[in-house]
Amino acid sequence: GNLVEISLMLDLTGSMGSDDGTGRTKMAALKSAATELVDLLLPDSGTTSARVALAPFAPTVKLDDAYLEAATGLPLTKSVCTQ
């Protein structure tokens, strides 16, 4: 089959705490819709030809130190972070 690659930028700003018009927050609606899409593209059966990337849309992004070390292969030190 054909490979599908999808990137989702998810709004995590404060406005997502407001009502979406149905009585739930915009964040709750976002979580529900994103979960449904990922479940559709990546079923539990493992039979898929899709890749999904998630990116936050927010004023700041905090990555876990362990993730940064694993992703870069470098020890997390002040000198590495400021280069």
d(CA 4, CA 54): 14
Least confident interval from 3-12, 42-51, 73-82: 73-82
d(CA 28, CA 60): 20
Per-residue pLDDT tens over the stretch 32-66: 999 999 888 888 777 668 888 888 888 776 777 77
d(CA 77, CA 75): 6
Going by pLDDT thresholds of 50, 70 and 90, the confidence category of residue 25 is very high
Q: Which two tokens stand for residue 52?
A: 């999904």
d(CA 32, CA 35): 5
Per-residue pLDDT tens over the stretch 29-39: 999 999 999 88
